[in-house]
Amino acid sequence: MEDRRPGSGRYARLEREQRWVLDSVPTEARPRAEIVDRYLLGTRLRLRRMTSSDGLVLKLGQKVRVEATDPERVMVTSIYLSPEEFDVLATLPAAEIAKSRFVLPWGTGALAVDRFHGRLRGLVLAEIELGADDELLDPPPFARADVTHDDRYSGGELASATASEIAALLQRWI
């Protein structure tokens, strides 16, 4: 019988990302999407609304860490939603973050560069997806610091951070 625990099974896939803090969005980066993520309280679930020139994407995702203390590797399961399904789930209590996503070709891949809004205004993070066995990359020349293994920069932690925790994160880089 197939494993039925969260983060396992045939629909879960490994997501491995390396992240850096940036001073700003590089001028060469191109706008990709506006994103609002709602991290449903008491769960590992994220409700995402992504608007781009390609249209609207609504999805529910579950992220389960391979190692509980390391945000670099997670098993991800996603479900694409209708607007009606999204609206029902959006009534659940959640911690929310909003960001503008940009794309920047880099090396053999592309960086996703996120400029955060609201309480996180001033924070800019870049990330790149890595293969399961890829080595960590050298940082781009415009990166301030590698925060791949720093849990404070994962989406769920950023969404639920207190005002003083956010101020400490931003003061470090701004």
pLDDT the model gives residue 6: 80
pLDDT the model gives residue 54: 94
pLDDT the model gives residue 149: 93
pLDDT the model gives residue 2: 63
**125-168 tens-digit pLDDT:** 999 999 888 899 999 999 999 999 999 999 999 999 999 999 98
* Residues paired with residue 144 on neighbouring β-strands, in sequence order: none
Ranges of beta strands (E only) in 27-82 are 30-40, 45-52, 55-67, 70-80
Please state the rounded mean pLDDT for residues 86-107. 97
Six-digit token pair at 43? 């769960």
| Domain boundaries, given as residue ranges, for the chain | 13-173
pLDDT at 38 over 70: yes
Report in angstroms the alpha-carbon separations of 19 from 73, 76, 126: 12, 17, 6
CATH code, residues 13-173:
2.40.320.10
Please state the rounded mean pLDDT for residues 99-122. 95
pLDDT the model gives residue 19: 96
Task: Tell whether pTM > 0.75.
Answer: yes
**39-82 tens-digit pLDDT:** 999 999 999 999 999 999 999 999 988 888 888 888 999 999 99
**4-22 tens-digit pLDDT:** 788 777 888 888 999 999 9
Backbone angle region of 99, left / alpha / beta, with phi > 0 → left and psi within -120 to 50 → alpha: beta
pLDDT the model gives residue 108: 83
Six-digit token pair at 70? 């390391």
